[in-house]
Amino acid sequence: MEDIRYQPIGIVHSPIRQEDHVPPRPTHSKSIEGTVEVFPEYTDGLQDLDGFSHIVLLCHLHLSNGHKLVVKPPSDTTSHGVFATRSPMRPNPISMTVVQLTAVEGSILRVTGLDLIDGTPVLDIKPYFPALRDNEDIRTGWAARKEG
Amino acid sequence: MEDIRYQPIGIVHSPIRQEDHVPPRPTHSKSIEGTVEVFPEYTDGLQDLDGFSHIVLLCHLHLSNGHKLVVKPPSDTTSHGVFATRSPMRPNPISMTVVQLTAVEGSILRVTGLDLIDGTPVLDIKPYFPALRDNEDIRTGWAARKEG
């Protein structure tokens, strides 16, 4: 099958370095601030993004080196299918991070809540909408006992 | 810059056909049922996914033909930057859909809440975690007045 090909639209500037421990769960990275530098040719696509309090960053985990179908998350002692985890060792190493958007300054987005390593290529930016109604029953499987 | 290359890990089977009108907002597709067929070589990655009530599908919008930086969503009369919308006319046409996972039958996932056209290639499957705390203040910019 023919490859699907993408080009980065920007890059993450983050205090998390390659050698650091990336926060294993989104709730642990609530306070990590950084910026997304959107490449100049895409700046026009940011119009009205500043009205959103939160955005979704889809990034290419460029340091991911091959994939595993069964992985043991750092927060757990047992293994799970990679699609039931947030492991970077995925067949297509795309990350999804919801961050708070604190400012839009030209092509620079100031964000809080990063769990991405400095230099990570950004594939897409989306407005964040609460996906589910408050009263919907949500189960988080093996990860439920790791919450908090 | 070198292209980022991905291969589909599965395919969406959906009642939404190419010629249909795709529900413009996620809340409009709550009841649309379908399946995700994960290709056999990735089935082991589904282990323990059945513990999650909801999953995220990242898909390649294969029918998207070029991009626009400023778009007018079907739900609005004014234009916005593409990154402030869910338009498929994005530089990297990746969609993000939260669906309810009703059953895992081997390599077939039964899901509810699809807004994807039949035949859409799947790039990644992630467990869904509520991204934000309930008491966090969420603003949805231009789209707020379109809610409901």
Q: What is the pLDDT of residues B44-70, one digit of tens each?
A: 999 999 999 999 999 999 999 899 999
Q: Which residues of A touch B135 (CB under 8 A)?
A: none
Is residue B31 in some structural domain?
yes
The SS3 of residue B28 is helix
Name every chain B residue with its beta carbon within 8 A of the beta carbon of A52: 84, 139-141
**What CATH number should be reported for the domain holding residue B57?**
2.40.30.70
pLDDT score recorded for residue B27: 58
Taking the alpha carbons at both ends of chain B, their separation in whole angstroms is 42
A143 within a domain of the structure (yes/no)? no
Mean pLDDT throughout B71-84? 90
Residues spanned by the domain of A95: 10-123
**Residue A147's pLDDT band (cuts 50, 70, 90):** very low
Instruction: Scan residues 78-107 of B and list those with Cβ closer than 8 Å to A.
Output: 79-86, 90-92, 94, 96, 98
CA B9 – CA B96 distance, rounded (Å)? 15
Q: Which of A11-25, B110-124, B126-140 has the lowest mean pLDDT?
A: B126-140
Asked, for residue A138, whether it belongs to a domain, the answer is no
Decide if B69 is inside a domain. Answer: yes
Whose CA is closest to A49, among A104, A8, A9?
A: A104
| pLDDT at B75 (0 to 100) | 76
The pLDDT of residue B148 is above 60 = no
Q: What is the pLDDT of residue A148?
A: 37
Encode pLDDT of B138-147 as tens digits.
788 888 766 4
Nearest to A64 by CA among A120, A112, A26: A120
Residue B16 lies in a domain: yes
What is the number of domains present in chain A?
Answer: 1
Is the pLDDT reported for residue A102 higher than 90? yes
User: What is the reported pTM?
Assistant: 0.91
